[in-house]
Chains A and B, each alone.
Chain A
Amino acid sequence: MNQMIWVVLLPFLGSVVCLLVHRKLVFALAMAASLGTLAVAAGLVAHVWEHAGARVELGGWAAPLGIALQLDGLAALFLLLTAVVGVLVGIYAGSFFAQTSELRPMGIHFWPLWLLLWGGLNGVYLCSDAFNAYVLLEISTLAAVGLTVLSGSTASLVAGLRYLLAAMFGSLMYLLGVALLYAGTGQLDFVLLSRSLTPQVHVVTAFGLMVFGLLLKSALLPFHFWLPPAHASAPAPVSAILSALVVKASFFLLLKIWFVVFDSLSGEGPGKMPGQLLGFLGSLAVVWGSFQAVRQWRLKSLIAYSTVGQLGYLFFIFPVLSFSHSPPHEALAWGGTVFHLFSHGLAKASLFLAAGCLLRAMGTDDLHAMRDIAGRMPVITFSLGVAGVSLMGLPPSAGFVAKWMLLRAVLASGQWWWAPVIVLGGLLTAAYVFKILAYTFVPSQGDAVRLQPVSLAMTFVPLALAMLCVLIGFRADEVILLLPAVPGCEMSAGGGGGP
């Protein structure tokens, strides 16, 4: 299973090569690295499908001393999502950064930073070591901040600095937790840590610090303040990457910390409280984020606030699983959460890229200016519509499957009080999606704005992402089978490489 390290090596190789070669070759080589990473990621999904997870000890040093890579169903699905979005955004970016002479120098910095970020994200998915996770989060954060400030404009600098400070603070809180755990147990490996933890004061403190840090980085409601300006002010391909992938990486780590490392702590009595709290913050995020999205008049701000709202759905898994450990809810909750990750990742990337096309064509992303866009840019409008349908959770899209599974999981676990939030969030989502679409159908009054031409690649990539988002809705069974019913058990048994 040594090839799993290639999902980290290939993007890094691409990044180094893109820095050094002539700028005419950069796009071709970056796409080669992207496609290679997609192929390896697909191979890893197939491996998990046919066999099981796997574990590789780097440098041949066994776990307490060295660092291991851990592949499981969840990691494989995240790798696949990142690779699919990465390749499509790459095709779009190749065309996007070639548009004008202002954008061309940005393209030179985009590729190395993006590939560095991609390698870091893939590293997070395979990570099995608490300190290593910190380093990977750092490399992803710094590369993501670099991408945010790509344009060098004052708005993006303010947003990027706020993002950097929030994310750094989150990382340091996480690191403080790791330090406490290491001082208490002398372990850093996730599986070894989970075996040696007992509910003591320092362990609970470490749990709180690590979860707090990761929540800050995943932009759950009270900590979402950095997200909308950063995601709205970045260039379109960067916004797509940040919204679809980067916030998900810290959420992935949160899942691992919660359900693998600290699994023994949650469950009974007071152990239910953190889960309920996260569910509560998640429902606040769903309502508040979606409500703010409805109030926006700039398309990119609207989509960014929609991310705040949609991220809230991811946090229902914590109350559902901390309440009861019975397999049917668990499969539903995992399936719903992962499906939501997929559908939101693909739909949000599609929306941001479509917004980039509109911004290019009209010169502004003000909703009022979008008159008669439906008639003049039908493909873009169609992508906006299809991606919007998935966000709303209408059948047959992946968004529908996700919300349906989440709803059933919530009801089956006996926590009916989350159900109205899920439904209300869907309605608010419908409100802002229709707000976008309504303006595209308003007929133009007299002299319409002259539209700049948008290249074919930029037109059809958002459509491809939106279509994928619908199509994946039909593959629900496979995704659920890939997911571990009880990830903690599978991980400690998986691969046979554990000490």
Chain B
Amino acid sequence: MNLTLLFDVFLIAALLLVSWRLLGASDLFQATVLFISFGLFLSLAWIRLQAPDIALAEAAVGAGLAGVLLLGTFKGLEPEEDREGENLSSEACRLDPISPCPGRAHLLLAFTFVGSMTALLLLAVLDLPAEGDGLTLLVFQSLDRSGVEHPVTAVLLNFRFYDTWLELGVLVAAALSILCVRNRLDLRELRPSKVPDVMLRRLVMGLTPIMILVVVYLLWLGDHAPGGAFQAGVVLAAMLILLWFSGHASITSLSRILWLFSLIAGFAMMLLAAVITASWPEMRPLEFAEEWSGAIILAIEVAATLSIGVVLSSLAILSLGAVED
């Protein structure tokens, strides 16, 4: 008991320290590395709060993918000449050079805001009823009618199917927006900025089958344990990025139409389910017959995994890749 308490105190201290250092960092590279370690500590905190699903997602997306994106952006900001020179300060690379840099007054305002928000939230959280466990009981009571055995999957893909479907729509919107920013129609011709060496190629080649296995395992696990489409999709994204980075065939080899198909597969699959159930006279929209719901959910999870993997890896490749002249 005392040991776990000690661990919790250590975790909280680490989180506060890392975020304080992160805010004070003058060098963007340092800030990025601190951000990644912040994400890892945060996922440990989720484990301590007994939310393994969120911990997996936080480690993969918050620390992993966001870290890749930030490092890639940092690479892009670095001036071509004198790479060994001065550290890159955050003032040197602002998108909007016209408006003034944040000064003392801004910082003071920000700290006042954050301080009062923290105080307010503390008061609010202390005011919360102690024994509230939300809808957990109701979820467990309805679990046998949902077609899956893991409560989180049941909520995500049956009880609140609509939300999950819209989240996949958010991913599609994000991918399309980045496409607009880069003025591109697809990912072809985007190459990693450095020519990969042989060791990396071999290593990734060896790792790929294992990662495919992990993707399938995580996907299958979602039926009865923490795991499922989001976690499997992130591993798939990592695999696709690594394949691309080491010069193997990846999503950049796909034609526009094939890439788009895999990008929207999850969203379109759920849309199809919605259209069919909405046109069926005896059923309510998004209602699945009990005997079919397990199979439908599995099919949708497969499509969603593919989409999540492709969207996340596309985001990374679009921001890291360069076009060869």
Contact = CB atoms under 8 A, between A and B. Distances in A.
A274 interface: no
A132 B138 contact: no
Contacts of B123: 201, 205
A13 B142 CA distance: 31
B284 A206 contact: no
A152 B183 contact: yes
B159 A65 contact: yes
Contacts of A19: 260, 264
Interface stretch (B14-22, B73-81, B164-172): B164-172
Given A56-B285, A65-B142, A201-B127, A16 B267 contact: yes
B124 A112 contact: no
A161 B179 CA distance: 15
A2 B278 contact: yes
A64 interface: yes
Contact of A65 (B138, B260, B264, B288): B138
A302 interface: no
Most buried by A among B138, B160, B163, B257: B160
B177 to A, nearest CB: 3
A116 B168 CA distance: 11
A303 to B, nearest CB: 22
B173 A59 contact: no
A143 B139 contact: no
Interface string A8-42: 01001100100110000000000000000000000
A101 interface: no
B162 A58 contact: yes
A431 to B, nearest CB: 28
Nearest to A57: B284
Contacts of B274: 5, 9
A416 interface: no
Interface string B180-224: 111101000000000000000000000000000000000000000
B13 interface: no
A6 B177 CA distance: 25
B95 interface: yes
A59 B268 CA distance: 18
Contacts of B288: 59
Nearest to A142: B173
Contact of A61 (B129, B133, B142, B271): B142
A120 B185 contact: no
Contacts of A185: 132
Interface residues of A, number: 61
Interface in A114-129: 116-117, 119-120, 123
Interface in B56-99: 95-96
B160 A182 contact: no
A446 to B, nearest CB: 36
B173 A143 contact: yes
A186 B260 contact: no
Contacts, number: 161
A61 B159 contact: yes
A146 B177 contact: yes
B181 A149 contact: yes
A119 to B, nearest CB: 8
Interface centre among B125, B177, B274 (most CB of A within 10 A): B177
B142 A186 contact: no
Contact of A139 (B138, B160, B173, B283): B173
Given A108-B185, A152-B183, A142 B170 contact: yes
A59 B158 contact: yes
A158 B124 contact: no
B121 interface: yes
A443 interface: no
A116 B177 CA distance: 12
B128 A186 contact: no
Nearest to B146: A61
Contacts of A184: 128-129, 132
A182 B194 CA distance: 48
A145 B267 CA distance: 20
Summarize A's interface: helix, strand, loop or mixed: helix
B286 interface: yes
Interface string B278-302: 1000011111100000000000000
A80 interface: no
Contact of B120 (A66, A143, A205): A205
A157 B181 CA distance: 7
A121 B158 CA distance: 23
Contact of A149 (B180, B260, B268, B285): B180
Interface string A162-206: 100000000000001000101111100000000000001110011
A462 B275 CA distance: 34
B173 A113 contact: yes
B124 A180 contact: yes
A350 B125 CA distance: 48
A188 B246 CA distance: 46
A439 to B, nearest CB: 27
A465 interface: no
A368 interface: no
Contacts of B95: 157-158, 161
A135 interface: yes
B128 to A, nearest CB: 5
A222 interface: no
A65 B139 contact: yes
Interface in B113-162: 120-121, 123-125, 127-129, 132-135, 138-139, 142, 158-162
B10 interface: no
A401 interface: no
A180 B260 CA distance: 38
A60 interface: yes
Given A146-B176, A149-B181, A201-B127, A116 B169 contact: yes
A150 interface: yes
Contacts of B261: 20
A420 interface: no
Contacts of A183: 128, 132, 134
A67 interface: yes
Contacts of B158: 59, 61
B3 to A, nearest CB: 28
Nearest to B94: A158
B278 A13 contact: no
Nearest to A66: B159
Nearest to A112: B176
A136 interface: yes
Nearest to A61: B159
A109 B161 CA distance: 27
Contacts of A161: 95-96
Given A13-B271, A208-B120, 14 more contacts: A5-B274, A9-B271, A9-B275, A58-B161, A58-B162, A65-B135, A65-B138, A65-B142, A67-B163, A132-B163, A157-B95, A176-B121, A184-B128, A205-B123
Across the A-B interface, the 7 shortest Cβ-Cβ residue pairs: A146-B177, A205-B124, A201-B127, A202-B124, A142-B173, A60-B287, A59-B286
30 contacts: A2-B285, A3-B278, A5-B278, A5-B285, A6-B278, A9-B271, A16-B268, A16-B271, A58-B285, A58-B286, A59-B284, A61-B142, A61-B158, A65-B159, A108-B185, A116-B173, A120-B166, A131-B160, A131-B163, A132-B163, A135-B163, A138-B170, A139-B166, A149-B181, A161-B96, A184-B132, A186-B134, A201-B127, A205-B123, A206-B124
